[in-house]
């Protein structure tokens, strides 16, 4: 019985030795599993307090029970990590101990964190998506009888050196009051995709496809296929600004109300693509987006088109947000000879609830 008690005591005393140990400069000690560090902060998982984040400058010594991935002075090594004075020592299996000043350490990761990090560098096609579905609906009755529906979708998949963006939006509205001659007041659909691939820290190439229809403009379909180069003018955790320059091919198909009835008109033009894409985080919950694309016509000098979009998304929770969007599509030369004449501008303003997702 006595031997069993002694054995149990030694077993209990050995458990902390199997854990990673941190000793802080104020004398506190933390035991657990080191998850990661960026050289400024260190995260250790504990059984008694969950994940604990510690300022790296507050750490006196480190002792890991298992191997960690460490970057010292730009060189990444794998091994158990300890400290010796003001230095970090990584005991590697292949190269022996590697020692460097604490100030040169820029990364620590556990095997699990390293696996998760490497997966983010090369996500599968269905992985790494972030986006939302926006839904807005309005209905009136009595002195007015109107219905409106707005549905929008956006998703972005970011890799280490590339980004794929998908979007679509649809607005439909009617005025059903008998005295107002029931009619459709809005019926437009749009969608597209853009793929960016970085070839340097600031430069990237892109290809894009945009598609738009508007029955009130007699526009059956406008297809814009383009590509070119871009510059990451601003690229920080809170703000991004991309400048774009390239060329595109545009094909338009209109069903115009001219003689003979049902006449269709199509046209194809080559144009320049120039513009910007801007995002900015306001606090912790709101993101502002803005995009502008200008298309000077290469076939008919002086004619042009542009699209302008502005929006805000405010998150209430991980899956629920409120979205506001404003869009303006301008065509300097809509088809002529149409009754009533087609307007150059097509303006959209929508608001509604957004259901966000991360995959």
User: What does the alpha-carbon distance between residue 63 and residue 83 come to, in Å, rounded to a whole number?
Assistant: 7
Q: What angle do CA 322, 195, 119 make, to 5 degrees?
A: 80
User: What does the alpha-carbon distance between residue 118 and residue 79 come to, in Å, rounded to a whole number?
Assistant: 18
Tell me the whole-structure pTM to 2 decimals. Answer: 0.69
Domains of the chain, by residue range, sit at 2-121, 129-358
What count of other Cβ atoms lies within 10 Å of the Cβ of residue 106? 15
Mean pLDDT calculated for residue range 47-75: 92
Instruction: Encode pLDDT of 81-106 as tens digits.
Output: 999 989 999 999 988 999 999 999 99
> Which letter does DSSP use for residue 341 in this model?
P
Record the tokens describing residue 240, joined without a space.
């991004």
Record the tokens describing residue 35, joined without a space.
């998850």
Instruction: Encode pLDDT of 302-340 as tens digits.
Output: 899 999 999 999 999 888 999 999 999 898 887 776 666
Instruction: Please give the backbone phi and psi of residue 81, each rounded to the nearest 5 degrees, phi first.
Output: -115, 130
What's residue 260's pLDDT? 56
Instruction: Encode pLDDT of 202-211 as tens digits.
Output: 999 999 999 9
Task: Give 172's strand partners.
Answer: 149, 187
Mean pLDDT calculated for residue range 269-293: 94
- Residue 258 pLDDT > 60: no
User: What does the alpha-carbon distance between residue 175 and residue 300 come to, in Å, rounded to a whole number?
Assistant: 38
Residue 5's pLDDT band (boundaries 50, 70, 90)?
A: very low
- Residue 8 pLDDT > 60: no
CATH classification number, 129-358, choose in 2.40.230, 3.30.410, 3.30.70, 1.10.3470: 2.40.230
Per-chain mean pLDDT for the chain: 86
| pLDDT > 90 fraction of the chain, expressed in percent and rounded | 53
- Cα of first residue to Cα of last residue in the chain, in angstroms, is 55
Cis peptide before 32, with omega less than 30 degrees from 0?
no
Record the tokens describing residue 310, joined without a space.
């502005």
What's residue 256's pLDDT? 66
> What is residue 217's three-state secondary structure?
helix
What is the DSSP code string of 107-155?
A: EEE-HHHHHHHHHHHS--TTSSEEEEEEEEEEEE-SS--EEEEEEEEEE
User: What does the alpha-carbon distance between residue 359 and residue 355 come to, in Å, rounded to a whole number?
Assistant: 13
Q: What share of the chain is helix, strand, coil (3-state, %, to 5)?
A: 10, 65, 25
Q: In what helix (H) or strand (E) does residue 9 lie, and over which residues does it extend?
A: helix 2-14
- Residue 160 pLDDT > 70: yes
> What is residue 102's three-state secondary structure?
helix
């Amino acid at each position: 019985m006595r031997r069993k008690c002694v054995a149990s005591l030694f077993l209990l005393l050995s458990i902390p030795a199997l854990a990673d140990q941190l000793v802080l400069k104020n004398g506190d000690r933390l035991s657990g599993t080191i998850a990661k560090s960026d050289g400024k902060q260190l995260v250790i998982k504990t059984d008694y307090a969950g994940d604990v984040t510690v300022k790296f400058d507050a750490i006196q010594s480190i002792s890991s029970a298992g191997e960690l991935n460490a970057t010292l002075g730009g060189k990444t090594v794998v091994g158990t990590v300890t400290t010796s004075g003001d230095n970090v020592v990584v005991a590697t299996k292949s190269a022996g101990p590697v020692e460097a000043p604490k100030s040169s350490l820029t990364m620590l990761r556990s095997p699990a964190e390293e696996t998760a990090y490497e997966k983010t560098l090369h996500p599968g096609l269905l992985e790494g998506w972030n986006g939302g579905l926006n839904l807005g609906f309005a209905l009136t009755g009595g002195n007015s009888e109107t219905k409106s529906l707005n549905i929008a979708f956006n998703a972005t998949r970011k890799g280490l050196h590339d980004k794929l963006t998908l979007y679509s939006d649809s607005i439909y509205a009617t005025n059903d009051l008998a005295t107002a001659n029931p009619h459709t007041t809005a019926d437009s659909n749009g969608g597209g995709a853009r793929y960016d691939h970085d070839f340097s820290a600031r430069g990237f190439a892109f290809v894009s496809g945009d598609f738009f229809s508007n029955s009130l403009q007699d526009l059956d379909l406008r297809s814009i296929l383009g590509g070119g180069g871009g510059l990451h003018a601003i690229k920080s955790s809170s703000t991004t600004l991309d400048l774009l320059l390239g060329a595109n091919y545009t094909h338009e198909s209109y069903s115009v109300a001219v003689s003979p009835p049902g006449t269709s008109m199509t046209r194809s033009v080559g144009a320049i693509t120039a513009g910007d894409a801007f995002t900015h985080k306001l606090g912790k919950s709101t993101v502002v987006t803005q995009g502008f694309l200008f298309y000077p016509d290469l076939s008919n000098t002086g004619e042009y088109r542009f699209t302008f979009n502005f929006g805000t998304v405010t998150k209430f929770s991980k899956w629920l947000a409120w979205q506001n969007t404003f869009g303006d599509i301008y065509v300097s030369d809509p088809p002529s000879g149409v009754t009533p004449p087609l307007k150059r501008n097509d303006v959209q303003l929508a608001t509604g609830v957004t259901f966000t997702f991360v995959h």
